[in-house]
Chain A
Amino acid sequence: MSQRGELPTWVDIGLIPLINLAIALFISGLVVVIIGENPFRALWIMLEGALGSVKGWSYMFYYATNFIFTGLCVAVAFHAGLFNIGGDGQAYVAGLGAATPGLLLGGALAAVLPAGISQPITILIALLGSIVMGAAYGWVPGYLQAKRGSHIVITTIMFNFIASSLMVYLINNVFRPVGKMAVESRSIDDAYILNFRELGRLVGVKLPSSPLNPVVLLAFLAAFLVWYLLWRTKLGYEIRAVGANTDAAIYAGIKPQRIIMIAMAISGGLAGLVAFNEIIGVQHRLLLDFVGGAGFVGIAVALMGRSHPLGIVFAALLFGLLYQGGTELSFAIQTISRDMIVVIQGLVILFMGALEDAFRPWLSALFFKVED
């Protein structure tokens, strides 16, 4: 039984996440102590690694780009009452949509059109391709849930495995040029987005090397568009109505099956943008496992950001910081291996995501005593 009133908003969206973060860091610190290192030094190296240089910042925003996309992916589904765990698979399959236009069309278009026109067209097709492939791959579990009653959590998990096997097969047997040792496609030479370092060089500004590229702006735009969709459109209203109360939605004449499929398609499309960032913005080729678990981090990001686009942007930046700082940390302190970083990130996900409400009762007891 809930015994007390609701907490003020600033506690809900500010204090609680901060407490959870602090506890996650504290326990991570204990782990660092156990392996015999100084936790404060480790924390400092992480912060310094992410925030102490332009390069650190660039990497942080690069990681955050993917996390914003996947965080939004989880959030849109969540507002429709669906738990989409399949962001990873949707992003992976979207790689087909991102890479194929450049590989197939790029050369042909470049032959007939000047480069200044053919390249943007190819990139635009790749963008649409990423969204469409991701959306299609998200739509299928949505269809199965809506029309066949298969639970979305189960199907999206299975679809991650299917995506993984499918992509290994396709990349190895279809995209890999004959004679190439690495399991990846040939590089896309005709249509890709320059990263900020290369762009800087064009205008004579020297920037450190990093994969950060203009797609990060697309991430912020996507966050705005998702906010607009959910709170300023009729479709968004219907999505939220289905998620909040399906019976009321049916009463209102909204068809939940239709909304579930649409929401899953939008969700998958957002995940698909990860492929656009990685393939068109960073790697310029289709390669194995380019998603790198961003789909799962997206779940934690969405939970921490309370499924609100603004919260997701901040949460994604925090996880970007952890990723970048963690990488630096494993370079700086040899005993803290890459796996240790995964442990620390896991703890943050645990406290921010799974245990997000663990301290709420305690905090609310504290709060309402103070107010008397």
Chain B
Amino acid sequence: MTPAIELINIDKRFGAVHANNNVSLSIAKSSIHGIIGENGAGKSTLMSILFGFYAADKGEINVDGKPVKIKTSTDAIALGIGMVHQHFMLVDPFTVLENVILGAEGGALIGPALAKARAELKRLADEYELDVDPDAIVGELPVGLQQRVEILKALYKGADVLILDEPTGVLTPDEADHLFRILQQLRDQGKTVVLITHKLREIMAVTDHVSVMRRGEMVATKKTAETSVEELAELMVGRRVLLHVDKGKANPGDVVLDVKNLVWRDRKGTPRVDGVSFQVRKGEIVGIAGVSGNGQSELLDVITGIAKATSGTVMFEGDDITALHDPAILRQRGMAHVPEDRQHRGLITSFSAAESAILGWQNDPKLGRSYHLNRNAVIEQCRKQMEEFDVRPADPLLKSAKFSGGNQQKLILAREIGSNPDLLIVGQPTRGVDIGAIEFIHKRLIQLRDMGKAILLVSVELDEIRSLSDRILVMFSGRVMGELDSSADERECGLLMAGVVKDAA
């Protein structure tokens, strides 16, 4: 059978970076094909070439056995290729129907297109278990449903090949399972699905074939049934990695952070953090699990002084800091913060690495007396941090944007840990970070704990929370649903994350 998609010897460079090095890939019709690789391995670049976002420097693309030229995404759509992006491309105030016909309005009046889309959506819903209320406002839908709208959009435009870029990053385990059922249904009806991910478990759960990319090269393509998580992980990083964190028992000491009945309301008056209480002690890691958007970000903002609490108290090393509302002072007192969103908060992408590496510490007297900022001191400090945290490339003058996600994260960790804090607050330490860096980051966090520091960890990766934390709090809808110890099983966490309290279940 002719493959649905064939990529032959694709080559792409961005300046000095060889993003795709002579990559070939063949995707069989009516199959689910996974592409895994660390961040910066070239998966997204390859798919962007297929979808017409980038032009390959060299190489050919065959669709259904015929050579094609894909210059824009319009070409790709015309060839029956659809893409669901990691960050949804939806117009929030529009209805589902209006979003679906976006780019296919067909004329000055949208009435006929809407009617046609309504009928088509009904058909798709019946066929693939893809039901969404066509008249719902997209911005009001949960992310799982928004993603479904993205899939519907692609199918409505006649996609036979559906590319999904890290689709489960924003989903609950339940939603992810549902997505996989949809994908399997699509495959059974003859569609071809390409799944880009760095989560090995998903690959094993849902794909028929899997291709592994490493540093811009295609290192292997296997039948999923004939491989294992360990083999894939090894192929991805080129060596055996520790998927589990080795750590000893915690020795909790004095209370460092004491949060009591904390409430934070947004502008509309909705409580986003709703009566949260917990403590973090010296020498322990407290993990906050939960599906993203359940108040974790707001909680971190209030604790770190970025947002002001509506009510309740936050005590840091015995001092009431609730009304302080000043990240700079908290930092000086020994509260370091690795923000959840490194691209938008953790560093300034247009600054050099050295400049990003002093963000928040720019007034440190070590970096220059009074008003002066000593450039050599800044660069020297960054060079040391880069060495200690193995940031690559180790060039303090390189623009922050040019580092891979993992290296950006290491740069931020180096900055925050380097300040020798008493309390480290870490949000999503390994989001979008490759396995090698994850391992490194986890080790550093454990090491810091063993030095007697207090760590508050927020992550949407349940595995990460479970392997790192000494105690686990689960947040749902602004509240702490329960506290578990690190041996709690996944099901138990999952239920709490979905807002189901044990007794009621």
Q: Which of B246-254, B285-293, B343-351, B384-392 contacts A (4 or more CB under 8 A)?
A: B343-351
- Tell me if B70 is interfacial: C-beta within 8 Å of chain A: no
Q: Count of chain A residues with Cβ under 8 Å from any Cβ of B?
A: 24
Question: CB < 8 Å: which of A5, A6, A235, A248 contacts B359?
Answer: A248
> Which A residues are CB-close (under 8 A) to B362?
234, 237-238, 241, 252
Question: CB < 8 Å: which of B14, B15, B349, B368 contacts A234?
Answer: B368
- Tell me if A247 is interfacial: C-beta within 8 Å of chain B: yes
Contact B351 A240 (CB under 8 A): yes
| A236 and B329 in contact, given A247-B344, A247-B345, A372-B57 (Cβ under 8 angstroms) | no
Question: CB < 8 Å: which of B328, B351, B355 contacts A254?
Answer: B328
| A250 and B327 in contact, given A232-B375, A234-B373, A237-B362 (Cβ under 8 angstroms) | yes
Q: What is the interface of chain A, defined by CB distance below 8 A to chain B?
A: 1, 3, 5-6, 231-238, 240-241, 244-245, 247-248, 250-254, 372
> Which B residues are CB-close (under 8 A) to A1?
53-54
Complex Cα–Cα for A234 and B378 (A): 11
Contact B372 A252 (CB under 8 A): no
- Tell me if B55 is interfacial: C-beta within 8 Å of chain A: yes
| A248 and B345 in contact, given A232-B373, A233-B372 (Cβ under 8 angstroms) | yes
Complex Cα–Cα for A61 and B401 (A): 39
Residues from 327 to 376 in B contacting A, C-beta threshold 8 Å: 327-331, 337, 339, 341, 344-351, 355, 358-360, 362-363, 367-368, 371-373, 375
Interface mask (B160-203 → A, CB under 8 Å = 1, otherwise 0): 00000000000000000000000000000000000000000000
* 16 further contact pairs, Cβ within 8 A, besides A237-B373, A245-B348: A3-B53, A6-B15, A231-B375, A232-B375, A234-B367, A234-B372, A240-B351, A244-B349, A244-B351, A250-B327, A251-B345, A251-B346, A252-B328, A252-B362, A253-B330, A372-B57
| A237 and B355 in contact, given A245-B349, A253-B326, A253-B328 (Cβ under 8 angstroms) | yes
Residues from 416 to 445 in B contacting A, C-beta threshold 8 Å: none
> How far apart are A76's CB and chain B's nearest CB, in angstroms?
16
> Which A residues are CB-close (under 8 A) to B351?
240-241, 244
> Which B residues are CB-close (under 8 A) to A252?
327-328, 359-360, 362
Residue of B nearest to A236 (CB): B373
| A235 and B360 in contact, given A5-B15, A248-B347, A253-B331 (Cβ under 8 angstroms) | no
Q: Which of A235, A236, A247, A251 has the largest count of B CB atoms less than 10 A from its CB?
A: A251
- Tell me if B225 is interfacial: C-beta within 8 Å of chain A: no
> How far apart are B51's CB and chain A's nearest CB, in angstroms?
10
- Tell me if B306 is interfacial: C-beta within 8 Å of chain A: yes
Question: CB < 8 Å: which of B14, B54, B304, B344 contacts A245?
Answer: B344
> Which A residues are CB-close (under 8 A) to B57?
372
Residue of A nearest to B332 (CB): A253
> Which A residues are CB-close (under 8 A) to B326?
253
Complex Cα–Cα for A6 and B402 (A): 11
Question: CB < 8 Å: which of B328, B350, B371 contacts A233?
Answer: B371
> How far apart are B414's CB and chain A's nearest CB, in angstroms?
16
Contact A232 B348 (CB under 8 A): no
> How far apart are A98's CB and chain B's nearest CB, in angstroms?
27
Complex Cα–Cα for A248 and B14 (A): 27
In the A-B complex, the 3 residue pairs with the smallest Cβ-Cβ separation, listed nearest first, are A253-B328, A253-B327, A252-B360
Residue of A nearest to B345 (CB): A251
Contact B53 A241 (CB under 8 A): no
| A251 and B360 in contact, given A5-B15, A244-B348, A245-B349 (Cβ under 8 angstroms) | yes
> Which B residues are CB-close (under 8 A) to A248?
344-348, 359
Residue of B nearest to A228 (CB): B372
Contact B306 A251 (CB under 8 A): yes
Complex Cα–Cα for A234 and B349 (A): 18
Complex Cα–Cα for A244 and B337 (A): 20
Complex Cα–Cα for A119 and B225 (A): 92
> Which A residues are CB-close (under 8 A) to B54?
1, 3
Residue of B nearest to A1 (CB): B53
> Which A residues are CB-close (under 8 A) to B349?
244-245
Contact A253 B346 (CB under 8 A): no
> How far apart are B165's CB and chain A's nearest CB, in angstroms?
14
> Which A residues are CB-close (under 8 A) to B330?
253
Complex Cα–Cα for A5 and B12 (A): 11
Complex Cα–Cα for A250 and B349 (A): 15
Residue of A nearest to B370 (CB): A234
